[in-house]
Amino acid sequence: MKIESRLNSEAAPQPVTGPDGINNNNFASIVPVISGQIGGRETNIASAKALHRALGVGRDFTTWIKGRISQYGFAAGVDYITVESLSSPVSGSAKSRQQVEHDYLLSLDMAKELAMVERNEQGRAVRRYFIQCEEALQRSAPEIAAQYRRQLKARIGAANLFKPMCAALDIACAEQGKQTLPRHYSNESNMIARIVLGGLTAKQWAQVNGIAGEPRDSMNAGQLEHLSYLESTNITLIDMGMEYEQRKAELMRLSQRWLAKHLEANHD
C-alpha cells in the first residue's frame, strides 16, 4: 500500500480549543491527516491507532477497531485498509524484540463516524477537527473538489451506457436470428476495456493494481470518460450492423483520435 507521508499542512484548520485544552493544532500532530489510497482511489486518510489514542478509548485498540467495523458495517478497501509495521524494540522490556504491529488507515468519513459514536467531548472535538480539515482542503484546493465532481459524473455516465450497449447487441443478434449469450456481453466490455486500459480487461487491471470490488469505481475520470465515449460509439456501430472485428478496428482508430484531442485540450 503506497502512502504519501506528507502532512496536509496547507489544510490545517484554525485552532479550536477542545477538552483538556487540546486544540486542533494538537490534533494535527496527534492524528495527522495524510494523502494516500484506499481501494486504488486517492483520498485523505488517518491512522486508527492515532485516533484511538486521541479519543481516549478505554478498550484495547484491536478490540475497539474490530468491534466498530463489525458494529457499523465498514468495508475493507472502501472505508479502510490494514497495514503492517515493525515496532521499535523497548530496552529492558519483555518486548525487547521488534513486533509486527497492525494499523488501519481510515477514510475521513469513517474517522468522523468513529469519533462521533464515542459520544463524548473528546470524540466531538476530534470530529470537528476532521470536518475542518475537509473544509480547509475545499478552500485551499478547489480543483480537488472539481476533480471529484468530474469523477462522479464520469462514473455515472459509464454506468448509464453499459445497459444500452447490451440492449443494442440483443437487437442486432435478434435481427440475425441469433441468441445473445453472456459471453457476447463480456466480449464487448473486454474489448473496450482493453483499448482504454492498455490491453488489460477491467478484471486484469484491477488485479494488477491490487483493487478489490468493482474496477470502474477505482478508475480515474479520464479512463471513465474514455470508456463512456467508446461505449456510446459502439452502440452506434452495432446499430449500423458492423461485425465485431470491424467495430474493434473502428473503435481503436477513434480512440486514438479521442486521446489526441484530449491531450491537446490539456496542453491549452
| Confidence tier at 11 by pLDDT (50, 70, 90) | very low
* Interior/surface letters 115-135, b for 16+ CB within 10 angstroms, e for the rest: beebeeebbebbbbbbebbbe
Quickly tell me which residue has 435478434 as its cell: 174
Task: Report the mean per-residue pLDDT for the chain.
Answer: 81
| Confidence tier at 21 by pLDDT (50, 70, 90) | very low
What's the pLDDT score for residue 23?
46
Res 24 pLDDT > 60:
no
Report the distance separating Cα 186 and Cα 111, nearest Å.
38
- Taking only the tens place, the pLDDT of each residue in 201-260 is 999 999 998 888 888 888 888 899 999 999 999 999 999 999 999 999 999 999 999 998
| Confidence tier at 146 by pLDDT (50, 70, 90) | confident
What's the pLDDT score for residue 188?
93
Average pLDDT over every residue of 86-115: 76
Q: Tell me the C-alpha to C-alpha distance, in Å, between residue 183 and each of 126, 169, 226.
A: 51, 12, 23
What's the pLDDT score for residue 10?
33
Edge-to-edge strand list for the sheet holding 80-86: 3-7, 34-38, 41-47, 100-107, 80-86
Domain ranges of the chain: 3-140, 144-267
Res 9 pLDDT > 50:
no
Determine how many CB atoms are found less than 10 A away from the CB of residue 27: 27
> Of 76, 14, 5, 62, nearest to 35 (Cα)?
5
What's the pLDDT score for residue 266?
59
Return all residues near 169 (Cβ < 8 A) that are at least 6 apart: 180, 184, 185, 188, 238
Tell me how many helices (H) and strands (E) the chain has. 10, 5
Report the distance separating Cα 246 and Cα 162, nearest Å.
20
Average pLDDT over every residue of 51-65: 91
The residue among 162 and 48 whose pLDDT is bigger is 48
Entry pTM = 0.49
What's the pLDDT score for residue 97?
64
What's the pLDDT score for residue 58?
86
